[in-house]
């Protein structure tokens, strides 16, 4: 019974994801919303909305701060895990 439920749930999830992927714009499409609105807004209003002296710093630290913080957290966590694994327990087996 568990196998049937897990296979059914997996198939439902796969179907939902495939429908979601089918709705995405083509890769490199110049008419996709990302290419039309976001980058143009960053260029047009980036300096006045962020107050930064440098447009790149304004984009990274203001518009994309949560994303940058998330990436930093993942990198920090992975470094800590690698160090913990390399250090080991120090005891004899």
pLDDT in tens, 54-93: 888 888 888 888 888 888 899 999 999 999 999 876 655 5
**Does 93 reside within a domain?**
no
| Both tokens assigned to 60 | 């990274």
Average pLDDT on 16-43 reads: 85
- Is 92 a domain residue? no
The domain in which residue 29 lies consists of 2-87
* Alpha carbons 60 and 68: distance in angstroms, whole number: 7
**Domain-located, residue 57:** yes
Q: Which of 53, 82, 49, 81 is nearest to 63 (CA)?
A: 49
Q: Which residue has the higher pLDDT, 88 or 13?
A: 13
Tell me the average pLDDT across 37-63. 85
Among all chains, which residue has been given the structure tokens 């198939």? 11
CB-side neighbour CA atoms (13 Å) of 89: 3
Total structural domains in the chain?
Answer: 1
26 or 22: whose pLDDT is higher?
22
Mean per-residue pLDDT for 16-22? 95
pLDDT at residue 67, as a whole number: 82
For the four alpha carbons of 42, 44, 50 and 52, in that order, the dihedral sign comes to: positive
Rg (Cα) of the chain, in Å, rounded?
A: 22
Largest CA distance in the chain: 63
pTM: 0.45
């Amino acid at each position: 019974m568990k196998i049937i439920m897990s296979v059914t749930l997996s198939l439902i999830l796969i179907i939902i994801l495939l429908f979601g992927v089918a709705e995405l714009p083509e890769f490199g499409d110049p008419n996709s919303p990302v290419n039309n609105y976001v980058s143009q807004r960053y260029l047009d209003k980036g300096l006045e909305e962020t107050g930064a002296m440098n447009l790149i710093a304004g984009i990274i630290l203001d518009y994309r701060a949560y994303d940058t913080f998330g990436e930093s957290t993942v990198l920090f966590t992975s470094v800590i895990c690698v160090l913990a694994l390399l250090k080991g327990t120090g005891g004899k087996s």
